[in-house]
């Protein structure tokens, strides 16, 4: 069954932090703060529309939920209560900063049926966190994650890829630390540089030089493969397509279908590895004998377009790189992201 979120955006107006990638002014000037009546209206409507209610959560997203004034946080939590329980929604999902988790806060969240907490870890390198003015450390992420687990919540981590001063080693540090914490879910956000941010200044002055878009797709695809192997559920890759991002982005890695690009990259690597394995089995290192043959691959029928790639990118890649023609067919017995060589 498919999980769904009833998303309620809670902008963090007046946030005391100044993360290098965040444009608070744009966020707060474009969105009003929701109140109890808004929560009731949104949830009542969702009760009518969602059939698999036990698979749905009321999600307070958009800011640092546990850092907003306590009275306001309680107003939102209390107003959601009549919509949770038997034949209603499963619970509440929130996102917050790693340094805004305490036992007292977790007690409140537990009391009001919060089931999942997502932490904006962003990076697990202290150097990168400092350079991007995050105001918390990697240790905060480890400690808060442990506390969230201890209290029995589902844990999610959000990471940003390609932040200012983040080297390949820093990216690996983050990946390894996330795997060590082993959250239930992860969201991967390649950096988008927004107008009016510190990152924009650094980018325009030439101080911040992001890696190429294609290299970012390869890096995120590689992370995704590792998270999949670790059985960490990837619930989001790339920012939501929105007018806000479209209007304010001046650089970075925005694409309305970023996840699909990465998934196609994974298929390309898997097809390449399958042919390499076959080549090894048949001919040892005599590469040419195999790569000159056209190939037919089977993938799960739901994944044919990912395997083919946007605008047939993978088909073109194999032709341009090895001179072979690749055909992709569907086969129900092949698992998602597996590939089988048919001929």
| Residue 47, C-beta contacts closer than 8 angstroms, at least 6 positions apart | 53, 83, 88, 89
Which lies closer to ligand SF4 via its Cβ, residue 15 or residue 235?
15
- We find the least distance from the C-beta atom of residue 183 to ligand SF4, in angstroms, to be 19
Residue that has been written with the tokens 């004034």 in this structure: 69
Interaction between residue 55 and ligand SF4 (CB under 6 A)? no
Work out whether 13 is an interface residue with ligand SF4 (CB under 6 A): no
* 132 interacts with ligand SF4 by CB under 6 A: no
The reply on whether position 30 binds ligand SF4 by CB under 6 A is: no
Q: Of residues 8, 10, 19, 216, which one binds ligand SF4 by CB under 6 A?
A: 19
Separation between Cα atoms, residue 24 and residue 18, nearest integer Å = 8
Q: Which is nearer to ligand SF4, 24 or 125 (CB)?
A: 24
Q: How far is the CB of 309 from ligand SF4 (least distance, A)?
A: 33
Shortest CB 33 distance to ligand SF4, Å: 13
- Residue 166's Cβ-count burial label (10 Å; 0-12, 13-18, 19+) is buried
Nearer to ligand SF4, 189 or 227 (CB): 189
**Cβ-based nearer residue to ligand SF4, 4 or 196:** 196
Nearest approach in angstroms of CB 185 to ligand SF4 is: 19
User: Which stretch, 19-27, 109-117, 167-175, 238-246, contacts ligand SF4 (CB under 6 A)?
Assistant: 19-27
CB of 118 to ligand SF4, least distance (A): 13
Dist CA 271 CA 299 (whole Å): 10
**How far is residue 190's CA from residue 235's CA, in Å, rounded to a whole number?**
14
Structure tokens at 223: 């992370």
Under rule CB under 6 A, residue 15 binds ligand SF4 = yes
- To the nearest 10 degrees (0 to 180), the angle between helices 103-111 and 70-80 is 30
Tokens at residue 257, please?
A: 């279908």
CA gyration radius, the chain: 22
Binding string to ligand SF4 for residues 82 to 121, with x set by CB under 6 A, is what?
---------------x------------------------
Q: How crowded is the C-beta side of 324, counted as CA atoms within 13 Å?
A: 21
**Measured CA distances, 65 to 248, 249, 273 (Å):** 24, 25, 44
**Interface with ligand SF4 (CB under 6 A):** 12, 15, 17-19, 22, 24, 63-64, 97
């Amino acid at each position: 069954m498919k999980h769904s979120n009833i998303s309620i955006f809670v902008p963090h107006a007046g946030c005391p932090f100044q993360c290098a990638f965040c444009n608070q002014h744009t966020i707060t000037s474009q969105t009003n703060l929701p109140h109890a009546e808004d929560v009731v209206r949104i949830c009542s409507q969702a009760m009518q529309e969602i059939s698999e209610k036990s698979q749905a959560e009321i999600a307070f997203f958009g800011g640092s939920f546990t850092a907003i004034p306590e009275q306001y946080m309680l107003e939102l939590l209390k107003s959601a209560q009549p919509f949770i329980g038997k034949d209603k929604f499963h619970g509440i999902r929130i996102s917050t900063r790693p340094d805004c988790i305490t036992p007292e806060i977790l007690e409140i969240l537990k009391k009001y049926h919060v089931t999942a907490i997502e932490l904006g870890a962003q990076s697990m390198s202290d150097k990168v966190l400092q350079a991007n003015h995050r105001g918390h450390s990697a240790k905060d992420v480890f400690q808060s994650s442990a506390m969230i687990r201890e209290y029995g919540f589902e844990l999610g981590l959000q990471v940003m890829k390609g932040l200012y001063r983040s080297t390949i080693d820093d990216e690996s540090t983050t990946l390894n630390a996330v795997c060590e914490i082993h959250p239930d879910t992860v969201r991967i956000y390649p950096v988008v540089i927004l107008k009016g941010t510190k990152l924009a200044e650094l980018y325009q002055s030439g101080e911040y030089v992001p890696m190429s878009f294609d290299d970012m797709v390869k890096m995120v695809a590689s992370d995704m493969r590792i998270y999949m192997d670790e059985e960490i559920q990837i619930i989001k890759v790339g920012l939501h397509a929105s007018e806000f991002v479209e209007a304010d982005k001046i650089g970075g890695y925005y694409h309305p279908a970023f996840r699909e690009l990465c998934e196609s990259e994974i298929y390309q690597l898997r097809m390449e590895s399958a042919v390499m394995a076959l080549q090894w089995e048949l001919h040892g290192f005599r590469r040419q004998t195999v790569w000159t043959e056209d190939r037919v691959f089977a993938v799960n029928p739901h994944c044919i377009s990912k395997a083919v790639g946007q605008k047939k990118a993978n088909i073109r890649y194999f032709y341009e790189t090895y001179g072979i023609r690749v055909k992709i067919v569907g086969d129900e017995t092949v698992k998602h992201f597996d590939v089988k060589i048919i001929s």
